[in-house]
A and B are shown apart, each in its own frame.
Chain A
Amino acid sequence: MTRITVKVDGVSYTDDVEPRLLLVHYLREAVGKTGTPIGCDTTNCGACTVHMDGKSVKSCSVLAVQADGSEITTIEGIGNGEWHPLQSAFRAEHALQCGYCTPGMIMAAADLLRENPDPTDHEVREGLEGNLCRCTGYQNIVRAVRRAAQETREGAAS
């Protein structure tokens, strides 16, 4: 067992974990952040995407011990108690159907907007290449990300 301290959605946790424990299992089962689901074994689907020290990572492909000392944000903490503009935009643009990919998609999109606050459609599509959705055909996801970008820019300007 290895002792780790991780801040998740603003709360600090210290636990003894097996070295092989995946970060996503730590988040889901030790911290109770079941908003972050698991969709594959090979880093392809992106459903488990969270932010680690401000950058998107696939939490199924990070060991919990590697996250020691880091700050994690999940879909449950991204809005700081409110809805993040991406959460609102995903709803407004019907950017989800079953919703299983949605937490990862939103976390990946938030990372994209952090780097590029005004992406083109093409840039959104490229930026989300690591997140698979089987329901929407992605078009409304692209719309939602651009809508959130616009609203964020307008919010910042006003």
Chain B
Amino acid sequence: MIPAKFDYVKPRSLDEAVSALAEGGDDAKVIAGGQSLLPLLRLRLAYPELLVDVGGLDELRGVREEGESLWIGALTTHYELIHDRLIAEHCGLLAQAAGTVADPAVRHRGTIGGNLSHADAAGDLPAVMLALDATMVAHGPGGNRDIAAADFFVDYLTPALDGSDILTGVRVPKHGRGWGFRYEKFQATAQSWAIVGVAAMVRRSNGHVAEARVGLTNMGPVPVRARAVEDAAAGAAADRDALRQAAGHAADGTSPPTDLNARPDYREHLARVLTGRALAHAAGA
């Protein structure tokens, strides 16, 4: 199918992009890699009148160390997330999860900024951001703004960005020695969306779980932080039985959707099973 008509600008600076968005109002939309947006345009499920292409903005590029965090530019592609040395060293969960997104060609084009701004709870990276305690950095008419991952996903396909905000990057705390991780993705086919995904970070100490963080994909209109699991896992023995028991809380407080692949009770069950597996893997149990 063929997109409806729109205007197109490719700003040369971030400020120029922000003013273009501001001018375009509700009918303007940012495009980066376009891997979420193009299908929507082609199916005529989205009708922007103006596309602001941020693909030329160098401010949005690069992965670098900033003290105890990594700065990951919004234009970093999934392919780059998988292959970047710093990401592998400090937040391997992100690389692992990025490797499960769609397929190689889509990963070449799709960006972390686009993925997160799309704010699809069925996408893999939002839950990963929760598990990593990441911070989103947005640039708007008032300058830069930090938004905690926990506050960023407001509702279905709705990020905490104002109309003329642009997500410029993500700040992710370094997770060094002692942290294990696992993204456990359950799919109907290799290229399809997660029916449920579990992003788990576990810090292990003396055979016990010192700290666990768990983000859930596709268990509600927004990605979910499984706090009850985290609380139950903290201090528990780092063995399969104990972690499975903690994972029994994975569906607590979730409101998973119904779609062609699953109804809520099955998603709840999957969340428990997969969380147990993800925790065990992350804890090396």
Chain A residues proximal to chain B, CB less than 8 Å: 2, 18-20, 22, 41-44, 46, 49, 52, 55-58, 60-63, 65-66, 108, 111-112, 126-127, 129-131
Contact = CB atoms under 8 A, between A and B. Distances in A.
Given A65-B10, A66-B31, A108-B105, 17 more contacts: A41-B39, A41-B43, A43-B102, A43-B105, A43-B106, A56-B108, A61-B109, A63-B31, A63-B34, A63-B38, A65-B53, A66-B55, A129-B103, A129-B190, A129-B191, A130-B106, A130-B191
Interface stretch (B1-9, B202-210, B238-246): B1-9
B102 A130 contact: yes
A47 to B, nearest CB: 11
B3 A20 contact: yes
A49 B102 CA distance: 14
A2 B38 CA distance: 18
A75 B51 CA distance: 30
Most buried by A among B10, B79, B103, B106: B103
Contact of A41 (B4, B42, B103, B108): B42
The secondary structure that dominates the A interface is mixed
B3 A130 contact: no
Most buried by A among B38, B104, B191: B104
A20 B41 contact: yes
A62 B38 contact: yes
Contacts of A111: 104-105
Contacts of B108: 52, 55-57
Q: Which 7 residue pairs spanning A and B have beta carbons closest together?
A: A130-B103, A19-B8, A61-B38, A129-B190, A56-B105, A20-B3, A55-B108
Contacts of A58: 105-106, 109
B34 A61 contact: yes
Contacts of B43: 41-42
Nearest to A131: B103
Interface of B: 1-8, 10, 31, 34-35, 38-39, 41-43, 51, 53, 55, 79, 102-106, 108-109, 190-191
21 contacts: A19-B6, A19-B7, A20-B5, A22-B3, A41-B1, A42-B42, A43-B35, A43-B39, A55-B105, A55-B108, A56-B105, A56-B108, A57-B108, A58-B105, A58-B109, A61-B34, A61-B35, A61-B109, A63-B8, A63-B34, A130-B102
Contacts, number: 87
A102 to B, nearest CB: 16
Contacts of A127: 104
Contacts of A56: 104-105, 108
Contacts of B4: 20
Nearest to B53: A66
Contact of B104 (A41, A60, A108): A108
Contacts of B38: 22, 43, 60-63
Contacts of B51: 19
Nearest to B51: A19
A23 to B, nearest CB: 10
A111 B8 CA distance: 30
A127 B106 CA distance: 12
B31 to A, nearest CB: 8
Contacts of B109: 57-58, 61-62
Nearest to B107: A130
A49 B105 contact: yes
A108 B106 CA distance: 11
B51 to A, nearest CB: 7
A6 to B, nearest CB: 15
B97 to A, nearest CB: 15
Contacts of A63: 8, 31, 34, 38
